[in-house]
């Protein structure tokens, strides 16, 4: 797929370019980004270059991951990164990080909702999943604000830096955003 640019009320989401390398490298020096995401730690400039020059374009080219740089709509600093990845049977997974100095302003919730709407309408996504290591309360707060249902804990559900870790999993369905689904949904009946 050719990369696309998405906009929300305050944000522009576009693919990363080589001009984003320095800001990406700086944002990924944050110990929290390194701790809670699967990026390399320590994070070298070569990691940022590989991410921007190989991983991002390959994801778009092979329709396996759509990664976006998040900036203010009117222009400005790199606020965050977000991606839709691991497509399988109509389900996509969302992942993200926010630069430390831009947390707490609702940017990532707005980004997640923008990507969810795009996934449900343009990618025919039937279910959007989120996973994060147990304890990543910041990430969990974002998806809960975006309307995800936290479905449970997966034992050994996340491989991060060579170690299996328990992970939370949550999901958003098109109906959660009042969007039509491409398939009917028949929820399980509660046990009496």
Burial class for 154, CB neighbours closer than 10 Å (0-12, 13-18, 19+): middle
Architecture of domain 6-126: 3-Layer(aba) Sandwich (3.40)
Give domain limits for the chain. Answer: 6-126
d(CA 90, CA 43): 33
Rounded mean pLDDT for each run of 10 residues along the chain, 192 residues in total: 96 98 98 96 97 97 97 97 93 97 98 98 96 97 98 96 97 96 86 71
Q: What is the pLDDT of residue 131?
A: 97
Write the CA distances from 40 to 32, 46, 108, 167, integer angstroms.
Answer: 12, 11, 22, 19
Pair of tokens at residue 81: 């990164």
Write the CA distances from 115 to 3, 13, 15, 35, 159, integer angstroms.
Answer: 13, 9, 13, 24, 24
Specify the DSSP element, H or E, that contains 89. none
d(CA 105, CA 101): 10
What does DSSP say about strands 127-133 and 91-98: parallel, antiparallel, or unpaired?
parallel
Q: What is the pLDDT of residue 86?
A: 87
What does pTM read for this prediction? Answer: 0.94
Sheet of strand 163-172, all strands in order from the earlier edge strand to the far edge = 6-7, 11-14, 65-72, 80-88, 91-98, 127-133, 163-172, 149-160
């Amino acid at each position: 797929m050719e990369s696309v640019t998405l906009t929300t009320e305050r944000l522009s989401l576009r693919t990363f370019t080589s001009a984003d390398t320095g800001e990406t490298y700086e944002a990924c020096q944050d110990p929290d980004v390194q701790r809670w995401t699967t990026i390399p730690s320590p994070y070298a400039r070569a990691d940022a270059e590989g991410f921007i020059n190989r991983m991002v374009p390959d994801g778009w080219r092979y329709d396996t991951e759509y990664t976006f740089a998040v900036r203010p709509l009117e222009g400005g600093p790199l606020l965050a990164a977000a991606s839709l990845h691991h497509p399988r049977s109509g389900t996509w997974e969302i992942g993200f990080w926010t630069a430390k100095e831009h947390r707490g302003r609702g940017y990532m919730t707005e980004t997640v909702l923008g990507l969810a709407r795009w996934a449900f309408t343009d990618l025919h996504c039937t279910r959007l999943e989120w996973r994060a290591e147990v304890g990543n309360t910041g990430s969990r707060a974002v998806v809960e604000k975006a309307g995800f249902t936290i479905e449970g804990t997966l034992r050994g559900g996340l491989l991060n830096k060579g170690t299996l870790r328990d992970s939370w999993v949550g999901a958003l369905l098109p109906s959660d955003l009042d969007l039509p689904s491409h398939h009917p949904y028949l929820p399980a009946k509660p046990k009496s």
